[in-house]
Structure formats: structure tokens, C-alpha cells
């Protein structure tokens, strides 16, 4: 049985927010693009570069968070290629990255012992507590 160890609400809201931001940026580029093409200036180009960089960084931050589930076998992380099961004995403690300063879209991560991989996910206190219980209960069995 797979138990969700991530906040489905935060996960879904973050993706919806990202789609809204990208739509807003695309609309702005379409509306302002004509003016920019007719009279480009270094200031406009710099502002455009900064704006696109911020949107790309935001997208990367939001999209790196994955759904994670707990099973008796280990932590199941959904990846772009499918799913990956990590035995509980190799799952590190839950940590908060320095870059996760927004409490509404706060991401957490666990490290995988023996790998440079971090698994990012959206969570609240209940999900963190469930993950810690799984880790403590099943790490002893492995």
C-alpha cells in the first residue's frame, strides 16, 4: 500500500500558479513585444533578461518537487522516467533547502545515502511526521 508523503494540495497549487505566471509572461511578451521590436533599448533588454531569468528559476524550483509515497519497501519517488524506490535504510532526514523561503510553496528534501541525489517534495507538518514514522519504523526492519 502506498501512502502519500507529500502535500497534494501544495503540489497542485504550485503547478497551477506556475501555469498562471507563464501565461502572464507570455501575454506580456505578446503585448509588449511589438513595442520592444520597434524601439529596443539596452534597459528594456536588461529588464527582459532579468524577468525571464526569474521566471525560469521559479519554474525550476517548482518543477523539481516530486510526489513521494511511503511503502514497507521504501520511499517511492516519482520521476520523469517513472518511479524509483529507495530502501528506508538509505533515506536521510527531512531537511529544508535555504532557497525555500516561501511558506506557501515550501519544499523539503531527503538525501539518499550513498548518492548525490536529493528528493524534493512539497509537504506540511503531517506529511513530514508520516515520513519520519515510516523511516523510523521500516529502517529498523531492513
pLDDT in tens, 16-75: 999 998 898 888 888 877 777 777 788 888 888 888 898 888 888 888 999 999 999 999
Long-range CB contacts (< 8 A, 24+ apart) of 124-131?
124/7, 124/10, 127/4, 127/5, 127/6, 127/7, 128/94, 130/3, 130/5, 130/70, 131/5, 131/68, 131/70, 131/75, 131/94
Query: What span, in angstroms and rounded, lies between the C-alpha atoms of 68 and 117?
Result: 14
Enclosing H/E stretch for 36: helix 8-38
User: Degrees (nearest 5) of the Cα angle 134, 99, 133?
Assistant: 10
Mean pLDDT, residues 121-142 taken together:
86
Q: Is the pLDDT of residue 141 over 70?
A: no
Domains and CATH numbers, the chain: 7-63 (no CATH), 68-139 (2.30.29)
Mean pLDDT, residues 114-142 taken together:
87
Enclosing H/E stretch for 95: strand 91-95
Band (pLDDT 50/70/90 cuts) for residue 131 is very high
Q: Is the pLDDT of residue 142 over 60?
A: no
Band (pLDDT 50/70/90 cuts) for residue 83 is very high
- The pTM of the full predicted model, rounded to 2 decimals, is 0.82
Amino acid at each position: 500500500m502506498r501512502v502519500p508523503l507529500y502535500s497534494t494540495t501544495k503540489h497542485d497549487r504550485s503547478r497551477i500558479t506556475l501555469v498562471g505566471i507563464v501565461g502572464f509572461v507570455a501575454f506580456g511578451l505578446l503585448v509588449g513585444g511589438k513595442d520592444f521590436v520597434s524601439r529596443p533599448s539596452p534597459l528594456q533588454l536588461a529588464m527582459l533578461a532579468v524577468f525571464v531569468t526569474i521566471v525560469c528559476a521559479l519554474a525550476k524550483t517548482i518543477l523539481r518537487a516530486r510526489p513521494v509515497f511511503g511503502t514497507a519497501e521504501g520511499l517511492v519517488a516519482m520521476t520523469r522516467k517513472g518511479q524509483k524506490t529507495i530502501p528506508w535504510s538509505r533515506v536521510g532526514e527531512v531537511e529544508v533547502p535555504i532557497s525555500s523561503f516561501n511558506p506557501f510553496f515550501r519544499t523539503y528534501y531527503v538525501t539518499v545515502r550513498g548518492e548525490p541525489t536529493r528528493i524534493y517534495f512539497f509537504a506540511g507538518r503531517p506529511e513530514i511526521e508520516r515520513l519520519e514514522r515510516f523511516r523510523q519504523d521500516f529502517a529498523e526492519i531492513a
